[in-house]
Amino acid sequence: MALLEVDDLSVTFARRGQRTVRAVDGVSFSVDAGEVVGLVGESGCGKSVTSMAIMGLLPRHPGTRIGGKAAFDGTDLLGLDDRARRDIRGRDVAMIFQDPLSSLNPVIPIGLQVTEVLARHRGMKGDAARKEAAGLLDRVGIPDPTRRLKEYPHQLSGGMRQRALIAMAVACRPRLLIADEPTTALDVTIQAQILELLKELVHDSGTALVMITHDLGVVAGMCDSINVLYAGRVVETARRRPLFREPRHPYTSGLLGSVPRLDSGRGEPLNPIPGSVRDVLSWSEGCAFAPRCSRRVDACLDETPPVVRTHDGRSYRCVDPVPLPGAVPAQAGPADQPEASSPEPNEEKTRD
């Protein structure tokens, strides 16, 4: 069994006088120990809400409904009471946020914020905790850690702050780490350092990592398997190489076609996806991506497209997927698409 199994997770926000928003709408994925799983999508696709729901960080409001299951090592995280959840959070499951400045307390020195985790979960106090904290900062590559412990967040650079946040997250050697856009606020050279650090942590300690990002480049270098989200649902799941080489869902393929690449030349026009994320259909009426889709057929507007699972572990939610050969920026070698080239007889249609 996988370490984290998210099954049919849904989050709805209802407010009086306003339309009920289904931010997450039946998301399922699983993460094994030592595995890096990506949740990719644009703003509003529900990737962050998914992580907040798993961590139990969504604001308590009568209008907020969370459904489904998120089983961590057998325990359903969604059903835990506050005390049990606090025991797990920070010790077994930790999170790294996008903006390190707003997720660190500005009036408390870094050292105290790191030792707080140690005190809460590992019962460490005083000098022992301080020594451990210095060791953690050193491990994430912060020079002169003992001095840095006394400093406040504003005295650290963006990269340092993100490192401090990572140090806090890994303080108790969590088995699952959720990183929500960990490098989006950082410059590319710093981003490279942080990604390297995360890879190292996964490699050294077998931590499972859920990487939430909009940057396909980051995903390509980091993740073992990838879930592409659109309007609250996973529209495609695949291992890293097949996803980039032969995206099946038109949204995935559209995303890949619309990013300018460092290794492509000047002037070739990009192929943007028309419209914007605002032009969505509700999933109950059909495919949410249909209004922007270049491969739209009538069937897209009839009903929710079912999830198609191919036997090689991929799945996509589309009635008219991108055909396997061609139409992809990277040429697929013939050896790389074995039985999947004739997927129909093997595909098993499931409806959820």
Residues lying near other proteins in the complex (CB under 8 A) are found at 42-43, 138-144, 157-160, 187-193, 195-197, 199-200, 203-204, 214-221, 240-241, 244-245, 254-256, 258-267, 269-274, 276-278, 329-330
d(CA 274, CA 49): 25
User: Shortest approach of other proteins to residue 203 CB, angstroms?
Assistant: 7
d(CA 342, CA 175): 39
Start-to-end CA span in the chain (Å): 21
- Its sign, for the CA torsion 251, 257, 263, 269, is negative
Please, which residue, 70 or 140, has the CB nearer to other proteins?
140
Please, which residue, 63 or 217, has the CB nearer to other proteins?
217
Question: How many angstroms separate the Cα of 322 from the Cα of each of 23, 220, 286, 316?
Answer: 26, 20, 18, 11
**3-class secondary structure, 105:** coil
**3-class secondary structure, 63:** coil
Please, which residue, 22 or 148, has the CB nearer to other proteins?
148
User: Shortest approach of other proteins to residue 111 CB, angstroms?
Assistant: 17
Please, which residue, 8 or 224, has the CB nearer to other proteins?
224
Residue-wise DSSP of 187-220: -HHHHHHHHHHHHHHHHHH--EEEEEES-HHHHH
The β-bridge partners of 96 are: 179
User: Shortest approach of other proteins to residue 186 CB, angstroms?
Assistant: 9
User: Shortest approach of other proteins to residue 195 CB, angstroms?
Assistant: 8
| Nearest of 281, 280, 286 to residue 304 by alpha carbon | 286
Please, which residue, 68 or 257, has the CB nearer to other proteins?
257
The β-bridge partners of 129 are: none
User: Shortest approach of other proteins to residue 93 CB, angstroms?
Assistant: 24
d(CA 313, CA 293): 24
Please, which residue, 94 or 223, has the CB nearer to other proteins?
223
Please, which residue, 91 or 240, has the CB nearer to other proteins?
240
Please, which residue, 9 or 273, has the CB nearer to other proteins?
273
User: Shortest approach of other proteins to residue 264 CB, angstroms?
Assistant: 7
Question: How many angstroms separate the Cα of 201 from the Cα of each of 33, 34, 93, 206?
Answer: 12, 9, 14, 7
User: Shortest approach of other proteins to residue 166 CB, angstroms?
Assistant: 11
Task: At 33, list the tokens.
Answer: 């120990």
User: Shortest approach of other proteins to residue 120 CB, angstroms?
Assistant: 25
Torsional class of 326: left (φ above 0), alpha (ψ -120 to 50), beta (otherwise): left
